[in-house]
Chains A and B, each alone.
Chain A
Amino acid sequence: MKARATVLGALVLAAALPAAADRPLSAVELFVQRDKGYCISCHQLPAGVGPASTSNVGPRLEGARMRALGKAAIRAAIVDPTAANADTLMPPYGRHRILDDQEIDRIVEFLNGLP
Chain B
Amino acid sequence: MACRRLAALALAMAASCAIAAPEAVRKEIVDRLQKQLPQLSGAEFALGSAAFDDALRAKIDENAGDAAPIVAAGHKVWTAKFRDGRSLANCFPNGGRRIAGNYPQYNARLKRVVTLEMAINQCRKAHKEALFDPTDAATMGAALAYVRSLSNNLKVAVRVPPAAEASFENGRRMYFTRMGQRNFACASCHLQGAGERFDGTALSPAIGQATHWPVIREAAPVTMQARVRECLELMGAAPFAAGSDELNDLEYFLSYLSNGLPLKANVWRPKAP
Contact = CB atoms under 8 A, between A and B. Distances in A.
Interface of A: 34, 38, 40-42, 53-57, 82, 85-89, 91-92, 96-98
A97 B182 CA distance: 10
A24 to B, nearest CB: 21
B181 A88 contact: no
8 contacts: A34-B234, A38-B199, A56-B197, A57-B197, A57-B203, A87-B6, A87-B192, A96-B181
A40 B199 CA distance: 7
Interface string B182-201: 11100011001100111110
Nearest to B235: A91
A41 B182 contact: no
B236 interface: yes
A13 B263 CA distance: 57
Contact of B192 (A34, A89, A91): A89
B264 to A, nearest CB: 26
Nearest to A92: B183
B200 A54 contact: yes
Interface of B: 3-4, 6-7, 181-184, 188-189, 192-193, 196-200, 203, 234, 236
A92 B188 CA distance: 14
Contact of A91 (B4, B6, B184, B197): B184
A45 to B, nearest CB: 14
Contact of B193 (A53, A89, A91): A89
A88 B3 contact: yes
B237 to A, nearest CB: 11
Given A91-B181, A98-B182, A55 B4 contact: no
Contacts of B7: 86-87
Given A57-B189, A91-B182, A98-B182, 12 more contacts: A55-B200, A56-B197, A57-B198, A85-B3, A86-B7, A87-B7, A89-B188, A91-B183, A91-B236, A96-B182, A97-B181, A98-B181
B196 A56 contact: yes
A57 B195 CA distance: 9
Contact of A55 (B183, B188, B197): B197
Contacts of A92: 183
A17 to B, nearest CB: 30
A61 B1 CA distance: 20
B12 to A, nearest CB: 14
A92 B181 CA distance: 8
6 A-B pairs with the lowest CB-CB distances in the bound complex, closest first: A87-B3, A41-B199, A91-B182, A57-B196, A87-B7, A89-B188
Nearest to A40: B199
Nearest to A54: B197
A89 B189 contact: yes
B200 A53 contact: yes
A82 B234 CA distance: 19
